[in-house]
Structure 1
Amino acid sequence: MPPASAPLRPRGRRPAGRRAAVPTQRVRIRLPKPPRRAGLPLQHRIGVTLAVIGLVCGFSIVPTDEALASTLRVAPSTTVAPGRVVPAPAPDQQLLVDATIAAPVVNRENLSATDGLQTLARVGTNEAWAKLVLMFGGWPQTDENVNVMLRWMRQENGPPDWWNRNNPLNNGYGSGGGAGLGSYPDLVTAAEYCAKNLQRGYPAIVAGLQAGTSADATAAAIWASPWATSHYGNGSHWSTRPVQVVQAPASAWGL
């Protein structure tokens, strides 16, 4: 039994006051580090860097719309509303020619097959009249056809006055002279009547003119025809030398 001076303590309870310290221990938790990403090799990183630099430089030198328009001489597009672009109308095309280039000189002495009545009348030569007959007849204006017509005209009227009575081939049809001694008001009318007379009664001559390939063959058809009672001596009175080109007075053409 305890001494009387010692106070009794109730069981199961501690006296009020500071509790006894409980020893503690620090715990360090080490979190795992994230795995390191594998880097690109050095040469690959250099290549990627250079590619990026090239793209940036490329975009920086792209010309603007105004520069393109100035270079191509085309007006830039016009923006009507945000997100909507209406192209400007295309300008007229221009052809720039060097000022040192001179226009070619056209020689109208040598007439082409496309020359018409007014052109031939303005030229006014016996060669032009021969082509006018071929034009009215619808025959090709080849060199062979023009040559045989000029030779024929020379046999009927000499070159110095081939327009005599405005009847170069002494045609009787429509001239008022059955023997070929009639006349026409002008050389254009004479050429038209000459073509009509050949078409109405001289098929061999027409065939030669239609072919247009041989002046000699057409000349043989003329000799054999009844155009001239002498038949040009069957060719003995027919010359093939070059015919002098002579211009008739403008009045003979009705100009």
Structure 2
Amino acid sequence: MPKAPEPPPTYVAAVSLLGHGAGAVKNLAGFRKPHHTVPDAVNAVTTAFLGKLCAAELTEEGEDYFQRAKAALGYKRADLSLDVTSPVAVLTAKDFTLEIAYALERDDPAAFRITRTLHSLRDGELVHREEFDRLFAGTFSTIVFTLAKGVKVEAVIDAIEARPADDPLKVSYPSDCRHCVLTVEGVAAEVVCDGATLEMRFPRAGSPREMIAAFLAVRSAFALTKDRVLAGLL
């Protein structure tokens, strides 16, 4: 009897959903125009300053998610908690963790970016619940896969370029191969691989269920390949 083929290695160690927002530092509630000046660099001092300026917005958003998650998913007091240590707020629920973080833009310290990260999903069926989907509707635009042991970007590129020319899975990359961008025909998202993570980026923000649906379409393209590197990535 022929020996059964070994399953491809699995590289993904963790999955998270990311969404972003942005704004001008001078528009934050804590900014006092007669007394404050906008940052012109990103360092420990200006980051602490941002933490004071955004405290009101951060606390309000964290509390809003706390109340809406409690109502939508029927949580009790022991099921979730909110910790606000500006410029970061962490909502820890029994089924997931949501982090909201403010940071100054390195290329333009007069502006800030908000990153909302959903991770540590403890119930795979949660993303299919209508209540959960509505809770985070229009929030996320990126799925990040953290790779357990990493993968060589060159190996990913070579595996895709070895596929037939009419294959729906395509790849592009810079000359130094520091990363590569994978696309699948018919799927709006693109996948960026830098060897340590895979980032599935979407052109617009959506809900967790929308993100997962697009992910499954990309994963099917990976799974169809016989190349062990690609088949094990997602």
TM superposition score category, shorter chain reference: under 0.3
| Higher RCO (C-alpha under 8 Å, 6+ residues apart) | 2
- Structure in which a larger fraction of residues adopt strand: 2
- Structure in which a larger fraction of residues adopt helix: 1
TM-score by length of 2: 0.21
**Whose radius of gyration is greater, 1 or 2?**
1
